[in-house]
A and B are shown apart, each in its own frame.
Chain A
Amino acid sequence: MSHIHIDISGLSFEYEKGHPVLDSISVSFHEHDSVGIIGANAAGKSTFLKLLVGLEMPPQGSIRIEEIPVEKNTLSKIREKIGYVFQDSDTQLFMTTVQDDVAFAPRNYGLPEDEVARRVARALDLVHIPHLAGKPIYKLSGGEKKLASIATILSMTPDIILMDEPSAALDPKNRRSLIHVLNEFDHLRIITSHDLDFIWDTCSRVVLIDAGRIIADGIPDVILRDETLLTAHGLELPLSLSER
């Protein structure tokens, strides 16, 4: 059995009293897992990811990242281990050029400039965009922005990558190149999406959430082929699996 990276027990959360977004969720994620969190709109997928990095606090229940509990005083330690890619790349990218944005985290962690440069080059290589290093952010296309967003967290050399709806607003070519990039990673990856074809192409495990509860947890070949299960929870078979 591989090492447990994230251990969640009895996790509940609500924005408004009496309206739980997540309800008693218990689940573990292991090293090298590639997990797709699927569910219809407002199922609680994004909130789930935000709780893992302490963007929403405080939850009921416990979340442990590599044995460290997610609490206010442990957040900086936790966030060094996790790279979080926002759904909207414009939120992720705020510096002037791609290079500066990718260097933002290593510089904040006080690394020497030669190490920062090494990490920036490596991160850009991993997502195949070294040619965009000096390009201003506002001149990037949607697909380039997404890859640059991923590079900004890879320069932190995280153990875990969280991605919120990564395929949203990408054209087929950029979507394909993102799938290719993600499949090259060895990190524990947790991806939320209702793009089930994307999950099919990138994940080895699927967790179905509805109304804040885990409905199913298993391999894509079982869950994504179960039309009855998907339909009952506001989803449809991936296009690549459905009969035309």
Chain B
Amino acid sequence: MSRIGNAARNIGKLDELARRDTWLNRIHPLPKLLVTVLYLVLVVSFSPRQLTGVLGMAIYPFILFEFGDLSFTSALYRMRIILPVVCLVGVLNPIFDREPALTIFGVTVTGGVLTMLSLMVKGVLTVLATYLLIATTTVESVCGALRMLHIPGILVTEFLLICRYVSVLLSEADRMWQAYSMRAPGQRGVAAGAWGSMIGRLLLRSMDRAKALYQSMCLRGFRENSTLLPVKGLESKDLFYFASFTTTLILLRIFPVLELIGRLFV
């Protein structure tokens, strides 16, 4: 199978993960969405030099991976392309900021290294938190939660359709790549001269298929305000999930746990 085909299959597998029947999957999508958004905001809100504070926020994904029946190694494998890119952010900081920031066991750490590590950890944690949301909540449920938050129907529809069309685009690209490779044996990648026409054709074919897919949805009663999935009412377990994680995350933001633990030993 080609890499594009693999990517399409991975999307299908993520959808399967989201449909499992685990306690985390059963939590209402609204608290999961709100906790994820809060987590992203809190992680990003740390100043570039608060590395210990950011590291403390790793508790949230750790708990969910540990108790949510999700494989951490599979998550890393699925994100093997995005994680290195995330880690590249701030990679030049050590060159521009050489001012000593702290000393650990006699080793001086510059401000640049500290901010680079902090940005890397922030990036990895935010990607992991987003993965945890989509691996435990279907796109339709997320859309339902967005509608509960009174996000305009047209925006939610756009979001849903983009999610649907990503797989359409990938499957079209895969078919074209297969057709191309069958007539270009032994060639690595697509020849420079063929890129323009291939991308043009891909765009046209994807638009045709996206149009047909949208028509198919409309013929089965789809409207921008459609109830995409029955979003049930909140239960006590959902409120407990929301309250406990919100409190924990806010406390982690206010009190740098790792720093406080470290001070106990100094």
Contacts and interface: CB of A to CB of B under 8 A. Distances in A.
A125 interface: no
A27 B216 CA distance: 26
B220 A108 contact: yes
Interface of B: 8-9, 12, 15-16, 18-19, 138, 140, 164, 171, 209, 212-213, 215-223, 226-230
Nearest to A152: B220
* Chain A contact residues, majority secondary structure: helix
Contacts of B171: 90
A92 B222 CA distance: 13
B164 A96 contact: no
A80 interface: yes
Query: Which 3 pairs between the two chains have the least Cβ-Cβ distance?
Result: A108-B221, A105-B220, A96-B15
20 contacts: A76-B221, A79-B219, A79-B220, A82-B219, A84-B219, A86-B212, A88-B212, A90-B209, A91-B213, A91-B216, A96-B16, A105-B220, A108-B220, A108-B226, A109-B221, A110-B227, A116-B230, A138-B9, A156-B220, A156-B221
A21 to B, nearest CB: 17
A53 B219 contact: yes
B216 A92 contact: yes
A72 to B, nearest CB: 12
B216 A136 contact: no
A110 B164 CA distance: 22
A97 interface: yes
Given A94-B217, A153-B220, A107 B230 contact: yes
Given A105-B221, A107-B229, A108-B227, A94 B216 contact: yes
B218 A79 contact: yes
A104 interface: yes
B164 A94 contact: yes
Contacts of B12: 96, 136-138
Interface in A116-172: 116, 136-138, 152-153, 156
A230 B220 CA distance: 36
Contacts of A90: 171, 209
A221 interface: no
A15 to B, nearest CB: 14
Contacts of B215: 55
A227 interface: no
Contacts of B218: 79
A226 interface: no
A86 B216 contact: yes
A106 B194 CA distance: 45
Nearest to B11: A138
Contacts of A79: 218-221
A95 B15 CA distance: 9
B19 A97 contact: yes
Contacts of A97: 19
A110 B228 CA distance: 9
